[in-house]
């Protein structure tokens, strides 16, 4: 059926959306060039774990990135069984993604079955009852009645199969429509983000490893507010603009990260790097030394430390500064039992204080 006479989700292509599509398309080329050299299997896996951790954190999963990695590695983790199961399910779903078609109803149900296996009784099935989304005691969204769900989803996937809109646009539209329809009793947010990634991956395979969920997690309230704004507007336009902005920022962070890895590879290949310098074993190696000296002034949180170091890319800070310092025993969290607490701060260990005292000695 021609698109002009078929169902089309309501949305408008604004000048901002078109400009963002152009910016992202340009960034994709730069990202692909850098990723060709630096996106190793290990980095792909790290990005996948960050994606899973962020997507589940949006749904109030409290496991840290380190715990998520340990679960995937088959290690024993102290955590709520449901949260551990959520991690295993999400990893299975993202790993199975290459075999799915975005416009396939069967694959959509199969994906939900993987994501929610062991978590709900009707995993892989549309909901049978009504559902509303509440903020406190206030109803913010009433999803369509359950009997309409199969047809609504079928219409959406049929549009997706035939549309000539840019994949960046269609991915955001499908994400929003799945949240609006709320086809499942649980797991709708995870499914919307997973299906957007699948659509983007079909456009550019490298985007299957772009952890855009980390940007959404950092803007979680704005994410929910924009969903509500789109509901009130009766079209996906505000959500399209939000998601395109998030994608652009995710590319900016990824390019910055890949560029660092790329030039690090060049330095190593040209024997510029000093292999004897181990930041975990010796804080005199920058960047751990910088972090230790910063915390000599007193405990501080991630945002304050990044600002003091002149960094704006959280994954780079975690990978190059925070994780080596924690693993080396130079710093410790103030709330180790709550790794994702917004009140989390870091302080020096006794080991680091002794080292600083030695540096002050003649």
| Residue-level pLDDT at 38 | 55
Quote the crossing angle between the two packed helices 188-203 and 41-58, to the nearest 10°: 150
Quote the crossing angle between the two packed helices 81-96 and 188-203, to the nearest 10°: 20
Pick the CATH number of 15-260 from 3.40.50.300, 1.10.3290.10, 3.40.190.290, 1.10.260.40: 1.10.3290.10
Domain residue extents for the chain = 15-260, 288-360
Residue 273 has pLDDT above 60, yes or no: no
Higher pLDDT, 269 or 233: 233
For the chain, percent of residues with pLDDT exceeding 90:
46
CA distance 118 to 122: 9
Mean pLDDT over 317-323 rounds to 83
Mean pLDDT over 313-333 rounds to 83
| Residue-level pLDDT at 37 | 55
| Residue-level pLDDT at 36 | 59
Task: State both tokens at 95.
Answer: 């790993």
* φ, ψ at 336 (rounded to 5°): -65, -25
Compute the mean pLDDT over every residue in the chain, rounded to the nearest whole number.
Answer: 84
Task: Strands of 246-352 (E only): list them.
Answer: 331-333, 346-348
Residue 128 has pLDDT above 60, yes or no: yes
Is the Cβ–Cβ distance between 31 and 254 less than 8 Å?
yes
| Residue-level pLDDT at 14 | 96
Q: Tokens 């996948």 identify what position? A: 48
* φ, ψ at 300 (rounded to 5°): -155, 160
Higher pLDDT, 15 or 206: 15
Is the Cβ–Cβ distance between 182 and 188 less than 8 Å?
yes
Sort residue 182 into left (φ over 0), alpha (ψ -120 to 50) or beta.
left
Task: Strands of the chain (E only): list them.
Answer: 132-135, 138-142, 331-333, 346-348
Reduce the DSSP state of residue 343 to 3 states and report it: coil
Residue 274 has pLDDT above 60, yes or no: no
CATH of domain 288-360: 1.10.10.10
């Amino acid at each position: 059926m021609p698109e002009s006479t078929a169902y089309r989700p309501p949305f408008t292509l604004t000048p901002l959306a078109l400009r963002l599509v152009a910016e992202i398309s340009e960034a994709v080329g730069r990202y692909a060039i850098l990723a060709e050299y630096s996106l190793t299997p290990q980095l792909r896996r790290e990005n996948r774990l960050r994606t899973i951790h962020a997507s589940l954190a949006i749904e109030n999963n409290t496991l840290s990135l380190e715990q998520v990695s340990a679960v995937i590695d088959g290690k024993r983790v102290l955590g709520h069984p449901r949260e551990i199961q959520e991690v295993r399910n999400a990893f299975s779903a993202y790993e199975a993604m290459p075999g799915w078609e975005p416009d396939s109803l069967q694959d959509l149900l199969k994906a939900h079955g993987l994501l929610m296996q062991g978590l709900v009784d009707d995993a892989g099935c549309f909901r049978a009852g009504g559902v509303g989304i509440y903020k406190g005691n206030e109803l913010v969204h009433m999803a369509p009645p359950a009997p309409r769900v199969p047809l609504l989803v079928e219409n959406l996937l049929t549009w997706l199969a035939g549309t000539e809109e840019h994949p960046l646009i269609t991915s955001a539209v499908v994400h929003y429509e799945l949240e609006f329809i709320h086809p499942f009793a649980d797991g709708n947010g995870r499914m919307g983000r997973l299906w957007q990634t699948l659509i983007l991956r079909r456009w550019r395979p490298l985007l299957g490893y772009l952890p855009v969920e980390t940007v959404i997690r950092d803007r979680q309230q704005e994410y929910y507010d924009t969903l509500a704004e789109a509901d009130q507007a009766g079209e996906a336009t505000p959500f399209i603009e939000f998601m395109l902005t998030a994608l652009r920022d995710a590319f900016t962070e990824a390019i910055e990260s890949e560029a660092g890895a790329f030039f690090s590879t060049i330095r190593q290949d040209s024997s510029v790097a000093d292999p004897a310098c181990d930041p975990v074993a010796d804080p005199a190696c920058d960047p751990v030394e910088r972090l230790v000296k910063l915390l000599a002034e007193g405990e501080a949180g991630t945002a304050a430390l990044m600002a003091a170091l002149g960094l704006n890319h959280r994954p780079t800070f975690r990978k190059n500064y925070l994780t080596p310092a924690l693993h080396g025993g130079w710093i410790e969290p103030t709330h180790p039992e709550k790794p994702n607490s917004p009140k989390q701060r870091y302080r020096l260990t006794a080991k680091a204080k002794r080292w600083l005292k030695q540096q002050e000695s003649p």
